[in-house]
């Protein structure tokens, strides 16, 4: 069970985000997911970069100097310009700028993993992925991955450099890429789904409306519906890593505890 940092930025109290991050590592999390565009609304609206709260900066404040066992994964493509405006990097120069921003804000010399985040699921990606592969060859990046990608994108990128993971939206009730986890497992590629809890609500976060089968099973097991959803996610393959995010310490502990929740074949069938 990893930790996604996107939901740390809206919290008005910076110390809460720092405490949640430190607690995650105390509980055994060694995979932190982030991106340079994970920033408070003030940053996106151009209120001033001084007022912006970047998740990467929160991670550095909470966890640096980093335990060598800690794995930091980030994304490039979407980003925030110095003016505070949103951008989608399409050129090698802008992708390098985003990589360098991640390095600076995280306070590291090399990024463990950089995912190329695709804002659309059609069209070629070779030029952008090759630009990241060049930065890997320079020693600025350790591993490369893709986000919001199709199997065709994986093939295209793999011809340029090894793809170690694919990070797509995926949940019990958000099944756009249902065959992808198993197809990636055959190739030795990790699948890292996001929105595992939120499902179709996506950026709006988890809602009170959940499937009856999820609620029924959660009640029978004495756990929360969110924990059932996370457990189902991890049962989709040995190569699957969940990265639920939260700015609440109690929810964090529940999410991590879901990693130990084993579902029977009958329970999985009921959820299906």
Instruction: Give pLDDT tens digits for 33-67.
Output: 999 899 886 544 444 444 558 999 999 999 999 99
Residue 142: pLDDT band with limits 50, 70, 90: very high
How far, in Å, CA of 146 to CA of 148, rounded? 7
Catalytic positions: 38
Residue 99 pLDDT > 50: yes
Question: How many residues does the structure list for the chain?
Answer: 272
> pLDDT band at residue 121, thresholds of 50, 70 and 90?
confident
Q: Which of 164, 180, 80, 72 is nearest to 121 (CA)?
A: 180
Name the packing angle between helices 212-221 and 225-234 (round to 10°).
100
Class (C level, CATH) for 3-271: alpha beta
Q: For residue 35, which of 51, 56, 66, 14 has the smallest C-alpha distance?
A: 56
Q: Burial level of 272, CB count in 10 A (0-12/13-18/19+)?
A: exposed
Buried b (16+ CB within 10 A) or exposed e, 199-231: beeeeeebeeebeebbeebbeeeebbbbbbbbb
What global pTM score does this model have?
0.91
Q: What is the pLDDT of residue 49?
A: 41
Summarize pLDDT for 9-32 with one digit per residue, the tens: 887 788 999 999 999 999 999 999
Report the C-alpha gap between 250 and 156 in whole angstroms: 42
Strand partners of residue 190: 165
Predicted confidence (pLDDT) at residue 82 exceeds the cutoff of 70: yes
Distances (CA, A) of 186 to 20, 95, 179, 181: 35, 30, 11, 9
- Provide, rounded to the nearest whole percent, the portion of the chain with pLDDT above 70: 90
> How many CA atoms lie within 13 Å of 218's alpha carbon, on the beta-carbon side?
18
Is 253 strand, coil or helix?
helix
Tell me what percent of the residues of the chain surpass a pLDDT of 90: 76
Give me the helices (H) in the chain, please.
14-26, 41-44, 55-63, 92-106, 126-138, 151-158, 180-186, 212-221, 225-234, 249-257, 265-271
């Amino acid at each position: 069970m990893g930790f996604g940092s996107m939901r740390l930025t809206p919290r008005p109290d910076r110390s809460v985000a720092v405490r949640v991050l430190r607690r995650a590592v105390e509980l055994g999390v060694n995979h932190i997911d982030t991106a340079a565009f994970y920033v408070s609304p003030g940053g996106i609206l151009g209120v001033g970069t001084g007022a912006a709260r970047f998740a990467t900066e929160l991670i550095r404040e909470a966890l640096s100097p980093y335990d060598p066992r800690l794995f930091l994964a980030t994304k490039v493509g979407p980003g925030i310009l110095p003016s505070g405006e949103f951008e989608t990097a399409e050129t090698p120069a802008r992708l390098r700028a985003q990589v360098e921003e991640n390095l600076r804000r995280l306070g590291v010399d090399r990024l463990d993993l950089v995912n190329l985040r695709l804002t659309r699921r059609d069209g070629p990606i070779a030029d952008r992925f090759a630009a990241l592969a060049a930065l890997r060859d320079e020693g600025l990046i350790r591993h490369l991955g893709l986000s919001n990608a199709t199997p065709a994108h994986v093939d295209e990128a793999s011809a340029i450099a090894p793809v170690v993971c694919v990070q797509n939206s995926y949940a019990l009730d958000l099944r756009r890429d249902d065959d992808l986890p198993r197809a990636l497992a055959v190739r030795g590629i990790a699948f890292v789904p996001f929105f595992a809890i939120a499902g179709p609500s996506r950026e709006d976060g988890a809602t009170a409306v959940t499937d009856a089968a999820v609620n029924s099973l959660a009640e029978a097991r004495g756990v929360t519906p969110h924990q059932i959803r996370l457990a189902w996610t991890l049962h989709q393959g040995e190569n699957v890593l969940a990265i639920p995010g939260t700015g609440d310490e109690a929810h964090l502990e529940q999410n991590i505890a879901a990693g130990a929740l084993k579902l029977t074949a009958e329970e999985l069938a009921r959820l299906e």
